[in-house]
């Protein structure tokens, strides 16, 4: 049974599924859709063309769907889609898309967005992503599944964060982060692979050894990146995690790829 606190303001045009709980002083706009068992604890604002998946939970002062912080935005009916069972803690913000990014911002399922984290317009955030306190995504950022962003990390517009990557706290990320990579610093550099994360998620010893070997070859001093990638692709063509990194680097992007600190300094 859906429960709406008497102090909440819920538009009669909003679509609320079964067992939604809307707490004190929440605001739910005209074009909002809330899935089964969504919980708005209190003082939550959900506006715009926003579709919330089942089982999501929003803590006080989370604000979802207000206009993006983009001067080019002129009120287009852009959207936000959030997958099931994601959690948004206090003061988190998610902004809808713009014409320049397909008018859509997406956040996947089973994500944890901690206090005061921000997801800007046109971002595409995968499943099982964790954003720690005050982590911030600029516009058009892509974040792969199981990525983790440490507290106060800032990600530049149009950057790609690969699957299972780790961004250290206080990092300023202006270049793409390879899948399974770990970056830190201002400006962020590649500090190695996210080995702890891989072990926690059950990657086999053989896959981890292959990733380590491939990483050493990709970022060696000899040859060009294109030559090293070709060598890695030939040696590890049957290893899916390694080939994911190869394809990620080979994909056209407006940003360069984060490099180890020694290579960056050179």
Give mean pLDDT, residues 111-117.
99
122 an active-site residue? yes
pLDDT grade, residue 48 (50/70/90)? Answer: very high
Q: Is the pLDDT of residue 177 over 60?
A: yes
Q: What is the pLDDT of residue 263?
A: 60
Contacts with 248 (C-beta within 8 Å, 6 or more apart), sequence order: 160, 162, 176, 178, 179
Q: What is the pLDDT of residue 265?
A: 53
Q: Which of 23, 83, 139, 181 is catalytic?
A: 139
Q: Which of 121, 140, 156, 163 is catalytic?
A: 121
Dist CA 3 CA 1 (whole Å): 6
Give mean pLDDT, residues 22-37.
98
139 an active-site residue? yes
CB 156 within 8 A of CB 174: yes
The CA distances from residue 1 to 16, 33, 59, 86, in Å, are 11, 16, 20, 21
Q: What is the pLDDT of residue 262?
A: 73
Dist CA 262 CA 156 (whole Å): 22
Give mean pLDDT, residues 205-221.
96
Tell me the average pLDDT of the chain: 97
Q: Which of 35, 53, 122, 181 is catalytic?
A: 122
101 an active-site residue? no
Q: Within 13 A of 265's CA, how many CA atoms are on the CB side? A: 4
Dist CA 55 CA 112 (whole Å): 13
Q: Is the pLDDT of residue 264 over 70?
A: no
Read off the tokens for 66: 């207000």
Sorted by where each starts, the structural domains of the chain and their CATH numbers stand as 3-140 (2.160.10.10), 199-265 (1.20.1180.10)
């Amino acid at each position: 049974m859906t429960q709406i606190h008497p102090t909440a303001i819920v538009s009669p045009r909003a679509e609320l599924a079964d067992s939604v709980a809307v707490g004190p002083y929440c605001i739910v706009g005209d074009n909002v859709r809330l899935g089964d068992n969504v919980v708005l604890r209190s003082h939550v604002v959900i506006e715009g063309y926003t579709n919330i998946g089942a089982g999501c939970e929003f803590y006080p002062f989370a604000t979802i769907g207000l206009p993006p912080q983009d001067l080019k935005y002129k009120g287009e009916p852009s959207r936000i889609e959030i997958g099931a069972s994601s959690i948004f803690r206090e003061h988190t913000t998610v902004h809808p898309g713009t014409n320049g990014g397909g008018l859509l911002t997406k956040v996947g399922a089973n994500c944890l967005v901690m206090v005061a984290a921000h997801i800007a317009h046109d971002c595409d955030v995968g499943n099982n992503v964790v954003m720690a306190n005050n982590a911030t995504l600029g516009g058009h950022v892509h974040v792969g599944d199981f990525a983790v962003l440490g507290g106060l990390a800032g990600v530049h517009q149009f950057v790609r964060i690969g699957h299972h990557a780790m961004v250290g706290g206080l990092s300023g990320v202006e270049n793409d982060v390879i899948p399974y990579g770990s970056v830190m610093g201002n400006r962020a550099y590649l500090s190695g692979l996210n080995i702890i994360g891989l072990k926690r998620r059950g990657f086999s010893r053989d896959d981890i050894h292959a990733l380590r070997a491939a990483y050493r070859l990709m970022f060696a001093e000899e040859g060009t990146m294109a030559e090293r990638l070709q060598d890695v692709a030939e040696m590890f063509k049957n290893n899916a995690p390694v080939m994911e990194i190869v394809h990620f680097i080979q994909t056209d992007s407006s940003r360069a790829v984060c490099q180890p600190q020694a290579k960056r300094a050179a």
